[in-house]
């Protein structure tokens, strides 16, 4: 029997706060994590793509997992894999020891392995841990698609491979996966802008970036869709469109806008690690404008939305 998946509908992929010296800001990490829970996050991904995992050392990752897990009472899902299987196994062990309650396992990037290589890679990761494993397909970042049949094979053969964060945007394939995957295997939308259509085909929720500032609206939208109130769900989705456009711009890809939002909320310094750039004052002003509009939309819907920590 597959492990129970208790991550809930509103998982937020947390940004990693840095100080002005570029070092981890652990006090801010605790502050952001608690803010996310206060805003309705049912679980938190730590050191995923939004967490700038590519520029974190192994020790920094483990420290973040431990600090955030101690700070909140929701599950921490560790972004604990790389494009090196052996390295991933070491990180997964460290995540389990640090108190993580799940593993987010991304498709290996740059190597572009064949599907058989993905089966071997993810299978080894699943066998190395007792934690539930969420696969993560994000071909725009990895250069390799996790094919639906590969996902189904992993779900059938590894009982703790319990779900998929799908950032491929392929709704037809996602719908087929929901229809054909084993009982208990769950689908999460990995792109905020597509969460409503993903819910329509059977996703259980979202792994969100906008959860940093729009969590209450997004969670109510998910609840409305899952209860069949599609009129309200569509209305709330429309209210979130400005957030979706803001969070990943051509000039400022994720997580740069998120760092601008954290600065606007008073939660963390507007600092990214190179080769990303820090958000500009203009981008932080844009974040404030998005927040003000979102607050007005939330008021219309009777949803409490704080815009300052």
Question: 41-87, pLDDT tens digit by residue?
Answer: 999 999 999 999 999 999 999 999 999 999 999 999 999 999 999 99
Q: Which of 136, 188, 198, 252 is catalytic?
A: 136
pLDDT tens-digit map of 14-35: 999 999 999 999 999 999 999 9
The Cα 236–Cα 230 span in angstroms is 10
pLDDT tens-digit map of 78-137: 999 999 999 999 999 999 999 999 999 999 999 999 999 999 999 999 999 999 999 999
Beta-ladder partners of 78? 46, 103
pLDDT at 2 over 50: no
1 band by pLDDT with thresholds 50, 70 and 90 = very low
pLDDT at 3 over 80: no
Q: Find out whether 68 is annotated in a ligand binding site.
A: no
In the residue annotation, 300 being an active-site residue is answered as no
Q: What is the pLDDT of residue 309?
A: 58
How open is the CA angle 206-127-2, to the nearest 5 degrees? 55
In the residue annotation, 136 being an active-site residue is answered as yes
Domains of the chain (ranges plus CATH)? 10-227 (3.20.20.70)
305 band by pLDDT with thresholds 50, 70 and 90 = confident
Q: Find out whether 50 is annotated in a ligand binding site.
A: yes
| pTM for the full predicted model | 0.96
Q: Which residues contact 61 (CB under 8 A, 6 or more apart)?
A: 47, 53, 78, 79, 80, 91, 94, 95
85, 54 contact by CB (below 8 A): no
151, 181 contact by CB (below 8 A): yes
Mean pLDDT of 227-232: 96
Lowest-pLDDT range, 3-7, 116-120, 190-194?
3-7
Q: Which of 109, 110, 165, 188 is catalytic?
A: 165
Query: What is the DSSP track for 38-101?
Result: HTT-SEEEESSTTTTGGG--HHHHHHHHHHHHHH-SS-EEEE---S-HHHHHHHHHHHHHHT-S
The Cα 153–Cα 301 span in angstroms is 43
The Cα 4–Cα 283 span in angstroms is 41
């Amino acid at each position: 029997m597959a492990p129970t998946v208790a991550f809930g509908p509103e998982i937020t992929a947390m940004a990693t706060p840095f100080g002005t010296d570029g070092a981890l800001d652990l006090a801010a990490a605790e502050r952001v994590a608690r803010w996310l829970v206060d805003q309705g996050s049912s679980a938190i991904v730590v050191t995923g793509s939004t967490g700038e995992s590519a520029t974190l050392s192994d020790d920094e990752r483990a420290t973040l997992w431990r600090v955030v897990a101690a700070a909140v009472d929701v599950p921490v899902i560790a972004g604990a894999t790389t494009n090196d299987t052996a390295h991933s196994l070491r990180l997964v062990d460290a995540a389990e020891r640090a108190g993580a309650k799940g593993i987010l396992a991304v498709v290996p990037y740059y190597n572009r392995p064949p599907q058989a290589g993905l089966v071997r890679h993810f299978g080894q990761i699943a066998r190395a841990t007792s934690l539930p494993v969420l696969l993560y397909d994000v071909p725009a970042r990895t250069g390799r698609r996790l094919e639906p049949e590969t996902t189904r094979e992993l779900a059938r053969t590894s009982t703790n491979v319990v779900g998929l964060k799908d950032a491929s945007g392929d709704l037809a394939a996602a719908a087929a996966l929901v229809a054909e995957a084993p009982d208990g295997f769950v689908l999460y939308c990995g792109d905020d802008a597509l969460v409503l259509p993903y819910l329509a085909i059977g996703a259980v929720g979202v792994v969100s970036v906008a959860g940093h500032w729009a969590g209450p609206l997004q969670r109510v939208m998910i609840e409305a869709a899952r209860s069949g109130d599609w009129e309200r769900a569509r209305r709330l989705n429309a209210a979130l469109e400005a957030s979706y456009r803001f969070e990943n711009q051509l000039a400022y890809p994720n997580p740069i806008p998120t760092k601008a939002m954290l600065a606007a909320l008073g939660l963390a310094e507007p600092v990214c690690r190179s080769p990303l750039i820090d958000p500009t004052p203009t981008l932080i002003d844009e974040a404030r404008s998005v927040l003000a509009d979102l607050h007005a939309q939330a008021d219309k819907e009777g949803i409490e939305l704080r815009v300052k920590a």
